[in-house]
Structure 1
Amino acid sequence: MLEEDTLVSKTLHSKTIVNSPEKREWFDTIPGERMAIHVQSSDVGGNLAIIETVAEPGCSSPLHFHRESEIFHILEGTMTFVCGGEKREASLGTTIVVPPGVHHAWANLSQSQVRMLVLFTPGGIENLFPRANGLAPLELVELVESYGTRIVGPLVLD
């Protein structure tokens, strides 16, 4: 290995991460959504986090923004996104990159579940999702704000 490659490897993380499906723990978040963390940011020096999300028909997020870049990759189904005021349909294989600070939301308006791989960079925000299940709306707002996320309104599709 080249000296430069060694430095880059040590900078990103100190171990190879293998997270096989049988090791993943699924948890509920908001009604109609469940998640599994594929890569925890604490394992990669805080650089990123990778989460798999399954959203049932009718499930949606509120319009929000945060300091992290968020990258969505659709693994199954079709998801409707609002990003920076623009509505977009995202089907199998589509990738959407939401820069830091951009207002965005998603909704499963289809009749089938949607599976997405979601990458946050930097990481850390993934730690809020296991804590979201069952919270009242005001409690959820307080939780997401403690992670640097601001809810700015409901999902607006028109």
Structure 2
Amino acid sequence: MPTDLPLRRALPAPGASVLGRDDLPGQPTSRRFEGARYGNVGVSLFWLETPPGHGPALHEHPYAEVFVVQAGEATFTVQGVQYRVSGGEMVVVPPRCPHRFTNHGPVQLQLIAIHASAQMQQTWLSE
């Protein structure tokens, strides 16, 4: 495991560790974990706290993405179809499927976006 990465603590199992949200690179509203940097873990993720009215632009990935909505409300657009979701729900987006979301609620949207890849690959698309 690379030694230049922040670790809250190493666990006895080789390659195991505990990370806090603030240990991950990114902005206060978006933290990024790429599995390739942590012993070639086979997934990556964004740990997001998105303000009302905000969200990423339309994009796609060559792998599936799973959104776990922890709190708040969002409108997801997946291949042109809109879905309204809230805390306690998940959205599964297949590979190469254009998608985006917007926080449409009055409070911060908390979600984890799991990428089925050790390294993130993202293509931005025009709306």
- Percent sequence identity is 19
Shift of 1:153: 2.2
What corresponds to 1:102 in structure 2? 97
- In the alignment, which of 18, 34, 38 is matched to residue 40 of structure 1? 34
In structure 1, what is the Cα distance between the partners aligned to 2:113 and 2:93? 11
What corresponds to 1:152 in structure 2? 125
What corresponds to 2:19 in structure 1? 19
How many equivalent pairs are there?
114
Shift of 1:105: 0.6
What corresponds to 2:4 in structure 1? none
In structure 2, what is the Cα distance between the partners aligned to 1:95 and 1:111? 20
Shift of 1:26: 6.0
> Structure 1, unaligned stretches of length 5 or more?
1-13, 126-146
SS at match of 1:50: strand
CA distance change for structure 1 residues 109 and 41 in 2, over 3 Å: closer, same or farther? same
CA distance change for structure 1 residues 73 and 18 in 2, over 3 Å: closer, same or farther? same
Return the TM-score normalized by structure 2.
Answer: 0.77
> Structure 2, unaligned stretches of length 5 or more?
1-13
Shift of 1:46: 4.8
In structure 2, what is the Cα distance between the partners aligned to 1:52 and 1:94? 16
Give the greater-gyration-radius structure (CA): 1
Larger relative strand fraction = 2
Q: What pairs up with 1:1-150 in 2 under 5 angstroms?
A: 15-21=15-21, 24-25=23-24, 27-28=26-27, 34-37=29-32, 39-42=33-36, 43-125=38-120, 147=121, 149-150=122-123
